[in-house]
Amino acid sequence: MKKFFSLIFYAISLLFYLLFLFPNFTYAESEEFTPFSSSSFYSLTRFFLDLKKDNSFEDLAEFKQRFFLETNYKPSEKFSILFSGKLDLNYFYGGFSRFQNFFDVHEAYFSFSGEIFSLSGGRKIVSWGICDGSPLDVVNRPDFRDGIFAEQKFLKTPGILLDLSLLFGSSSLQVVYEPFFTPPQFVDIKGDWAIMNWRSLYIAFEGDKSSDQLKPLLDGQFQPVVKKYPSLFSDLLKSFGLGFYFSSRMELLQLVFAAYTGFGFPLPFFDPVFSQEFARTPGTLEQKLDISAAEILEPASRGESFLKLEPKRYYMLGGGWSYDISGFLLKNDLAFFVSPLPDLNLNIKNFPLLSLAFDIEKEIIPNLISIAGTRTTINLSRDKIVFLERGIILPSISLRYEIYFGQSSLSLLPAFILDIPIESPKIRGNFFVFTSLFKPYDFLEISVGLFLLSGKRTSPFGFFKDNSSVLFSLKLYI
Amino acid sequence: MKNVDSQAIPTSSESSVKMIIRKGNDVRERKMIVYTKSDGDMRYSVSKFIEPADVRGTQFLQISKKSETLQFLFLPSLNKSRRIAGGQKKTSFMGSELTYEDMERKNIQDYEYKLIKEDENLYVVESTPKKGVDSQYSKAVFYVRKDDFAVLKTELYKGEKLFKVIENEITKVEGKYNIPTRTYVKNIENGNETELIIENIKVDIKVQDKYFSPDFLGKW
C-alpha cells in the first residue's frame, strides 16, 4: 500500500514538474500579465559522524541523501500554485544499522490574492514572529525526522490549513485555520505502534515488537510508543487550530500581536503506568535518566507502552517588536502559553509559561553581522517541569560572515548558546554550532559543520550530548 | 540636485531585470522581476529573483520616504522576511558590487553640494554627507545631464580614494520618463563589475499595493 501511494506521489510530482516547466502547454499568454513559472531541483548529500558513541545502540554515522523539487506557477496575477516534494534516502550505521526512506509532498498549496487580501490553502508552513526561533512561531508541528541539525525549512511539518491575509496600509492581519490536527513527524512512526530510543526522543523505529530482530531490543534501550492522535472525522471539531497574527509598522518600529490555540504541543506525553513507576524508582532525576526505560517499567507492565504521543489543546498569546536605533536592530518576541507538560514525575499538568526571544543585530564590518540574544522560558507554576524546572535562560552569540573570493563565497556561521537555569543562575550546559558554507559555483554548495553539546544529563543540551557530531554536505542544484 | 530628485518617474512599473556579476573571467547572471510604485513622497520597489535556482524565490523590498529607507529581504530557506537594519548597509547585495546603502534612496537634505565643474552638456556636482549622517562613502561626484537632469555617472569615494563608479544608460520611456535601463557598477578597489539591465519594462500600469507590504513577501 505504501508503495502504491509513493508511486502516486512520484507521478503527481512529475506531472507538476512537467506542467510548470512547459507552462505554454496549458495556458495561453495573456496580454496584461505574462504567466511565469520557476522551478528548482537539488540533490543534498550529507554525512554525519558521531563524536561520542557511548552505548551499543547509538549510531556511529549517518548518510543522508535528499532530492528536493520546488516549483511554482503563476498563470495570472491573482492566482498561483506552489508544489514541493522531497525524497529522503537515509542509511544509519552503528548501533542498529538500517535504511530509512521517505517521500513527502512538502508544501502544496494554491494562493489567490486580490487588492488587499491573499488567501491560500493546502499543505503549508506558516512562520510567525520577528526573531528567528520565535516563541510565537507555533502554527506547524515540528518535524523530528531529520534530527536537530536539519535544514531550517524542514524543521516543521507542513499542516493542511487555510491562510487569509488582509492588508491595510502598513498593517496586516493574518488568520490561520487548521481544520484538523496535523501530527508532528517522528522518524518512521507510521503505524500505531513503534519503538523509540529513550535517550533521543526523536529517533524511533517502526516495528513489530514480536519480530525476532527487534524483540531483544525491548529488553534494553528501546521501548514501545503509542500514538493517541485525534481521529480525522470523529475529533474534527475538537482538534482544530486557529490563530491570528497582526503586524503593523510605524517608521522604524514594527509591532506584532499573535493569538493561537492548537492541538499537540510538540512534546511526547507519558503513560500514567510509566509515570507512577518512574516516581517510585529511587534516585535523582539524573540517575533515573541513566536507567533504561525497561528497567523502570519492571516489575509493572514490561513490554507495554510507556510513551504516548497524545496531543492536548494549548493556548498562546503574545506579541513582539523590532526597532532600529543607532545602527542596532533590536528584536523581541514574548509569548504566554498554557500548555500540558510533564512534571518531574512525568505526570502531565497544565503549566503556564512565559517565553521570550530577544536579539540585537549589528553590522561589525561589511558582510559581518553579529547577533547577541537570549531565548528565555519562565515556568509560572509552583510545580517544576521536567528539564525546564522553574525556567531556563539561553543567552547566545552568533555571527553571519560572508567572504568573497572572486565569484566564490564562504559563509561562516558560528553560534554559541549557554544554558542557565533560572533558580540557580550558573552555567549548566552549552551548545556550540559552527557551519561553514562554500559556494564555488551557483549550482554547488559545500558545507562543513560541527555540533558540540555538553552539560548535565538532566539539562536540555546535556540530554542530547551524545549527538555531538561533525557534518559534511554537498548540495547540487540541477 | 533638487531637480534630479524631482524628475518625473512612473507611478508604477513592472520590469524584467538581469543582473550580471563579473569577477575576473567568471561571469554570473541573476534574473528578477521588479515592481515599483510611487505615491507622493513614498517610493516602493520589490524584486523577486527567479534565476538561478540557488537564489530563486529571494525577494527584496524597499520602502522609502524622503527621510529614510526601509529594506526587507525574504529568504525562502527561512520562510521569513528579515529587516535590513540601518547599521547593515555596507553588506553586499546578493554577492554583487552593490551594497544595501547603494540601493537606498538618498535624502538630499542629508548632503552638502558643490558644483565643481560645468560644460556644455553636464553639471558635475560633489556631495558630502552632513555631520551625523552614516555613510560608507566620504563623498560622491554626480555627472548630471543638463537637458533633463538625468544622472549619467556617479563616482563614490572612500577618503580621497575613488572606490566605485556607477554609470547609467538612460532611455526615455513613453517619451517622458528617464529610466536607467542599463546600470554599470565598477568597484575600482577589486576590479569587479556588476551590471543591471532592464530587459522589458511596462510603466504606469496597475500594480497592486500588496506587493509592497513586508507581510506579502514570500506570498507571490
pLDDT in tens, B130-145: 888 878 899 999 999 8
Q: A63-102: per-residue pLDDT in tens?
A: 999 999 999 888 887 899 999 999 999 888 876 677 878 8
Q: Closest to B79 (Cβ–Cβ): which among A118, A153, A439?
A: A153
Mutate to test the interface with B, among A128, A153, A364, A447 (most CBs of B within 10 A): A153
CA–CA separation, A186 and A196 (whole Å): 10
Q: Are strands A368-379 and A391-405 parallel, antiparallel or unpaired?
A: antiparallel
Q: Do A185 and A194 touch, CB atoms closer than 8 A?
A: no
CA distance A260 to chain B (A): 18
Q: Is residue A11 part of a domain?
A: no
What DSSP character marks residue B92?
B
Yes or no, beta carbons of A443 and B52 under 8 Å apart: yes
How sure is the predictor about B194, in pLDDT bands with cuts at 50, 70 and 90? very high
Taking an 8 Å cut-off on Cβ atoms, the answer to whether A407 and B215 are in contact is no
Q: C-alpha cell of A241?
A: 487550530
pTM of the complete model: 0.83
How many helices and strands, by DSSP H and E, does chain B display?
Answer: 2, 13
Is the CB of residue A167 less than 8 Å from the CB of residue B209? yes
Q: What ranges make up the beta strands (E) of A132-285?
A: 141-142, 156-157, 159-168, 171-178, 193-197, 204-206, 222-227, 241-250, 253-263, 269-270
Best of B39, B72, B209, B213 to disrupt the A interface by mutation (most A CBs within 10 Å)? B213
Which range scores top for mean pLDDT: A27-36, A440-449, B2-11, B146-155? Answer: A440-449
- Look at residue A233 and tell me if it is in a domain: yes
Shortest distance, CA A333 to any CA of chain B (angstroms): 14
- Chain A contacts of B88, Cβ < 8 Å? 329, 361-363, 369
Summarize the confidence of residues A383-388 as an average pLDDT: 81
Q: A275 — phi, psi (to 5°)?
A: -60, -45
B79, B133, B211: best to mutate for the A interface, most A CBs within 10 A? B79
The CATH number linked to A54 is 2.40.160.10
Q: Which residues of B touch A125 (CB under 8 A)?
A: 79
Q: Considering CB atoms only, which of B33, B87, B214 is closest to A327?
A: B87
Q: How far apart are CA B78 and CA A153, in angstroms?
A: 6
Distance from the B213 Cα atom to the nearest Cα atom in chain A, whole angstroms: 7
The mean per-residue pLDDT over the stretch A239-254 comes to: 91
Instruction: Establish if A29 belongs to a structural domain.
Output: no
- Parallel, antiparallel, or unpaired for β A253-263 and A313-325? antiparallel
Task: Decide if A261 is inside a domain.
Answer: yes
Mean pLDDT computed over every residue of chain A: 79
What does the alpha-carbon distance between residue B195 and residue B97 come to, in Å, rounded to a whole number? Answer: 9
Question: Sheet holding A204-206: strands in order across?
Answer: A204-206, A193-197, A222-227, A307-309, A269-270
B75-107 b/e with 16+ CB inside 10 Å = b?
Answer: bbeebbbbbbbbbbbbbbbbbbbbbbbbbbbbb
Categorize the per-residue pLDDT at A267 as very low, low, confident or very high, splitting at 50, 70 and 90. Answer: low
C-alpha closest to that of A109 among A88, A83, A139, A148: A83
Residue A60 pLDDT? 81
Per-residue pLDDT tens over the stretch A172-231 = 999 999 998 888 877 654 444 444 444 443 334 444 444 454 454 444 444 455 667 888
> Nearest CB to A127: which of B70, B79, B134?
B79
Residues B127, B112: Cα–Cα separation, whole Å: 5
Contact B50 A38 (CB under 8 A): yes
8 Å CB contact between B29 and B52? yes
Long-range contacts of A432-441 (CB under 8 A, 24+ apart): A433/A149, A435/A471, A436/A410, A436/A411, A436/A412, A437/A410, A437/A411, A437/A413, A438/A408, A438/A409, A438/A410, A438/A411, A439/A408, A439/A409, A439/A410, A439/A411, A439/B54, A440/A408, A441/A407, A441/A408
Q: How are beta strands A159-168 and A171-178 bridged, if at all? A: antiparallel
Q: Are strands B42-51 and B59-64 parallel, antiparallel or unpaired?
A: antiparallel
Nearest to B23 among A115, A254, A406 (CB): A406
B15 min Cα distance to partner chain A (Å): 11
Q: Which residues of A touch B214 (CB under 8 A)?
A: 247, 249
Residue A339 lies in a domain: yes
Residue A195 is predicted with a pLDDT of: 45
Please tell me whether residue A226 adopts helix, strand or coil conformation.
Answer: strand
Mean pLDDT, chain B, integer: 87
Determine whether the interchain pair B99/A366 forms a contact, defined as Cβ–Cβ distance below 8 Å. yes
User: Of B91, B215, B219, which has the smallest distance from its Cβ to A363's Cβ?
Assistant: B91
Residue A306: which pLDDT band, with cuts at 50, 70 and 90? low
Kindly list the residues of chain B whose beta carbon comes within 8 Å of any beta carbon in chain A.
21, 23-24, 26, 28, 33, 50-57, 68, 70, 76-80, 83, 85-92, 95, 99, 134, 136, 208-210, 213-216, 219-220
Do the chains contact at A367 and B86, CB–CB below 8 Å? no
**Optimal mutation site among A109, A324, A437, interface B, most CBs of chain B within 10 A:** A324
> Which segment of A107-111, A464-468, B28-32, B143-147 scores lowest on mean pLDDT?
A464-468
Strand partners, A412: A401, A436
Residues 6+ apart with CB under 8 A from A392: A376, A377, A419, A420, A421, A422, A460
Nearest-angstrom CA–CA distance, A80 and A110:
6
Backbone angles phi, psi at B8, to 5 degrees: -65, 130
Interface with chain B: mutation pick from A82, A110, A113, A365, highest number of B CBs within 10 Å? A113
B23 pLDDT more than 70: yes
Residue A25 lies in a domain: no
Closest CA to A84 of A101, A104, A100, A64: A104
Cβ neighbours of residue B129 closer than 8 Å, sequence gap 6 or more: B110, B111, B135, B137, B138, B139
Å from A235 to nearest chain B CA?
31
Task: Band the pLDDT of A274: cuts 50, 70, 90.
Answer: low
Statement: residue A250 has pLDDT above 90: no
All three cell numbers of A104: 513527502
Decide: residue A467, CB within 10 A, 0-12 exposed, 13-18 middle, 19+ buried.
Answer: buried
On whether the CB atoms of residues B215 and A75 are closer than 8 A, the answer is no
The grid coordinates of residue A160 equal 493542511
pLDDT of A478: 85
Tally of structural domains, chain A:
1
Cis omega (within 30 of 0) for bond into A35:
no
Is residue A1 domain-resident? no
A20: confidence class by pLDDT, cuts 50, 70, 90: very low
Chain A residue with minimum CA distance to B74: A127
- pLDDT grade, residue A472 (50/70/90)? very high
Rounded Cα gap, residues B8 and B219, in angstroms: 31
C-alpha–C-alpha distance, residues B142 and B27, integer Å = 28
> In 3-state terms, what secondary structure has residue A79?
strand
The DSSP bridge pattern shows strands A141-142 and B42-51 to be: unpaired
Q: Closest approach of chain B CAs to the CA of A362, in angstroms?
A: 6
Determine the residue among A73, A83, A329, A408 to mutate to test chain B binding: the one whose Cβ has the most chain B Cβ atoms within 10 Å: A329
CB contact under 8 A, B77 and A247: no
Cβ of B54 and A477 within 8 Å? yes
Pairing of strands A429-441, A408-421: antiparallel
Q: Looking at the partner chain, which of A40, A174, A445 has a beta carbon nearest the beta carbon of B56?
A: A40
List Cβ neighbours of B119 (8 Å cut-off, separation of 6 or more): none
pLDDT of residue B128: 92
Whether residue A32 is predicted with pLDDT greater than 80 in this model: the reply is no
Residue A126 confidence (pLDDT)? 93
pLDDT surpasses 70 at A409? yes
Gap between the Cα atoms of A78 and A153, Å rounded = 26
In a domain, A234, yes or no: yes
CB contact under 8 A, A363 and B90: yes
Alpha carbon B123 to its chain centroid, in Å, reads 21
Q: What ipTM, to 2 d.p.?
A: 0.82
| Closest-approach residue (CA) in chain A for B133 | A326
Task: Enter the C-alpha cell of residue A325.
Answer: 536605533
CB contact under 8 A, B91 and A366: yes
Q: Which of A279-288, A371-380, B24-33, B73-82 has the lowest mean pLDDT?
A: A279-288
**Residue in A closest to B93 by C-alpha:** A367
Distance, CA of A97 to CA of A84 (rounded, Å): 30
Residue A426 and residue A392 in contact, taking contact as beta carbons nearer than 8 Å: no
- Could you tell me the residue range of the domain that residue A305 belongs to? 34-477
pLDDT at A24: 38
- With beta carbons less than 8 A apart as the criterion, state whether A340 and A265 touch: yes
Cβ–Cβ below 8 Å for B91 and A172: no
> From start to end of A75-158, where are the E strands?
79-94, 98-113, 117-124, 141-142, 156-157
A165·B216 Cβ contact <8 A = yes
Residue A12 phi/psi, 5-degree rounding, is -65, -45
Tell me the average pLDDT across A22-32. Answer: 41
How many CB pairs below 8 Å do chains A and B form together?
Answer: 140
**CA torsion sign, B209 to B213 to B219 to B220?**
positive
